[in-house]
Structure 1
Amino acid sequence: MKKLLLGAFVIAAGFFSTANAQIQEGNWMVGSSIISSNFGLNTGGGYQIGLEPKAAYFIKDNVALGGMVNLNFLKTGKGEATQFKYGVGALGRYYISPGEAGVDNLLNHGRWFFEGNAGIGGTSIENGNSTTGFVYGIGPGYSYFITPNIGVEGLVKYNGEAGFGNTPYNSNITFNVGFSIYLPTSHAKRIANEVK
């Protein structure tokens, strides 16, 4: 009975502890935003369905650098043209420590973060203008850890597109929902060796 109670206590302590081990130097984050709402600033808003795969390496505690790909379909309203957004670029994340800047983490089960990205991308509009150019985004997010290594994420992001084509500049604010998997370097190396 003592072993059962001790085991339950250890599991509970691990479950309710602050998320630290996932975002330490040397770990990897792999994930994707899956769906998002688009609040158009100089264009119509709507819902997007797509993938934004991202991978980043923690160069030091709370700081991750990596890359991302953007593949989204956007429909701004009934009867409106369908848009396809694409892009590839660099990604950076900074996770806020508990108590930093007066921010406490929700239920000590996750972390607030800021994400920024920059790269090349564009928009292709059905029967309309298309553009390719410099794309960037920045915004706050929250990763809620449902297990020690898996986080469900919400991210509000300002996105800009400085086009070289028919549309000189386009911007919007999106609310993205997705997930991330946090892997210690030793675990990531083992997975890579199994794939070979």
Structure 2
Amino acid sequence: MHVIMLVTAVLGAASVKAQTQKGNLMWGADLLNITGTFQNGNNQFNMGLSPKLGYFIQDNFVLGAEVDLSIATSKTFNTYNYGISPFARYYFDDKRLEFSQRARFFLEANVGFAGTNLKDKTTDASTSTNGLNIGFGPGLAYFITPNVALETLLKYDLTVGFGNSTTTNRIGLNLGFQIYLPTRHAKQIINEEKSNMRRKG
């Protein structure tokens, strides 16, 4: 039943631009460079996930929080990245930038705490940077339904802090999705789930 309610809420909006209005929620995740490199003696695998939750405090402007977790591994090394930070995102509402009524360009920035830690398997040496993280970049949201968008985000991340390496720079092309949900629909789903739990109890 709750799945039906969620689908109904997701598909219930009339226009794309209405989903970036004040009072709406945004939740989903960026998938960070899920790639595999296969080379004789140098196989590598990179995988990451960055879940997000935000609230539109004004039309086209959302504040929220995100968690960044990723790993890169090969025969000779393992690299672990992590981070947690608030973020801000602004959606442009300019017809000159529109190439499709389903697409919205945005800018995103975050400031928080993050770390990059590399372990060399052959020498057992390690390199780490843990501290202040600043990230920013442009993105594009393409709405496959009025409330669900596939997104791409080109983001630069700088971490400055302590460890045997004081700075780390990363540039990533992140792919993911976001669900845009009016607050009243979110409250309705929560209340229905609470009622179902009480009846089952």
Q: TM-score, with normalisation over the residues of structure 1? A: 0.79
**1:32 paired to 2:4:** no
**CA-CA distance at 1:131 after TM superposition:** 2.6
Please name the residue that 2:162 is paired with.
164
Output aligned runs, 1:29-178, within 5 Å: 29-36=26-33, 48-75=46-73, 79-99=75-95, 102-104=96-98, 106-126=99-119, 127=124, 128-178=126-176
CA contact (8 A) 1:24 1:58 kept: yes
Q: Following TM superposition, where does structure 1 have runs of at least 4 consecutive aligned residues deviating by more than 4 angstroms?
A: none
Output one character per residue of 1:96-145: Cα deviation in whole Å (capped at 9) or x when no partner. Answer: 0032xx422x3211200001011011012124122310111100000000
Q: Secondary structure at the match of 2:100?
A: helix
**Cα root mean square deviation, aligned:** 2.1
Q: Identify which of 169, 177, 180 aligns with 1:179.
A: 177
- Rate the CA distance shift 1:93–1:181 in 2: closer, same or farther, 3 A: same
Q: Percent of aligned positions with the same letter in both sequences?
A: 42
Output one character per residue of 1:130-187: Cα deviation in whole Å (capped at 9) or x when no partner. Answer: 2310111100000000011100000000111102111101112110000000000101
Q: Identify which of 182, 186, 189 aligns with 1:188.
A: 186
Q: Secondary structure at the match of 1:137?
A: strand
CA contact (8 A) 1:35 1:177 kept: yes
Aligned length: 169
Distance 2:192 2:165 in 1: 46
**Which runs of 5 or more residues in structure 1 are unaligned?**
1-13, 39-45
Output one character per residue of 1:30-89: Cα deviation in whole Å (capped at 9) or x when no partner. Answer: 010113279xxxxxxx863111001110001000001000011124xx544111101101
Q: TM-score, with normalisation over the residues of structure 2? A: 0.77
**Which runs of 5 or more residues in structure 2 are unaligned?**
1-13, 36-43, 195-201
- Rate the CA distance shift 1:91–1:159 in 2: closer, same or farther, 3 A: same
Q: Secondary structure at the match of 2:164?
A: coil
- Rate the CA distance shift 1:71–1:194 in 2: closer, same or farther, 3 A: farther
